[in-house]
Amino acid sequence: MPLTSKVAIVTGGGEGIGRAIVKRFAQEGAQVVIAEIEPTGQQVAQQLNEQGLKALFLQTDVAKAKDRNNLVRTTLDHFGHIDILVNNAGIYFPRSVFEMTQADWTKMMSVNLDAVFFLSQLAAQAMKEQGGGRIINVASVNSWLGMPLSSHYNAAKGGVAQITRCLAVELAPYNILVNAVAPGFIKTRMAIVDGVDETETEFFKTFYCDHRRIPLGRAGLPEEVASAVYFLASDDCQYITGHLLVVDGGLSITF
């Protein structure tokens, strides 16, 4: 089990991509701390522990500094070290440029961007003292693509990609590798907008799948993103840092 003795924090680990990452890490032997604002985090931890795997749930609102501090402090108190941090927690809600309020913008940034930096800062301090670690951020193809009703989301994800590059340079002397994944259309709750799963609409099936706007002809699965995150967290990843690994079925290479 390649991650045996490793301690990993996964934010937003109660559902979707986060849950898939938690399960993959636990199956590979890691002790996983599930940082989640929803009760689903507790349910995932319970399921894994019943299977003989190791998971700890900490209710966490990553937008709050006190919760971030508690997450890192409790993890260190409980396990003694932090080897892997996955900044996965994220939110999305559509807003046009004409409807966007300061509160909308601030809410999006606090979860999708600010929390990534400040949690990385906290974890990096522990990793520096122990001689190394891995930070993996979940960005998006929206980091560089334009999209209507999403200026706040895309700006935040673009920031995540840039934070990844900057932290990779700054933390390299301490043997801390910092990378990111950029998912495309993935079948998660975030794909549901106004009660409609966009990956199940006729438009999506025709335009993206049948016409091969996505060359692989389908939406991705959370487990496929988790596999990419696992690689970046594993010992197979030794000489890669500051990289944005795209997991989108080829979406972003078409035009």
For helices 115-130 and 65-79, give the axis angle rounded to 10 degrees. Answer: 30
E strand residue ranges, the chain: 7-11, 31-36, 54-59, 84-87, 133-138, 176-183, 192-193, 196-197, 244-247
What number of other Cβ atoms are within 10 A of residue 80's Cβ?
A: 10
* Residues annotated catalytic, as ranges: 153
How far apart CA 70 and CA 129 sit, in angstroms, is 19
Phi-psi region of 10 (alpha: psi -120 to 50; beta: other; left: phi over 0): beta
Three-class SS state of 192: strand
φ and ψ of 98, to 5 deg: -85, -20
Matching residue, tokens 């500094």: 65
For residues 157 and 139, is the Cβ–Cβ distance under 8 A? yes
Mapped onto helix, strand or coil, the DSSP state of residue 137 is: strand
Task: Give ∠ CA 154-33-44 in degrees, rounded to 5.
Answer: 85
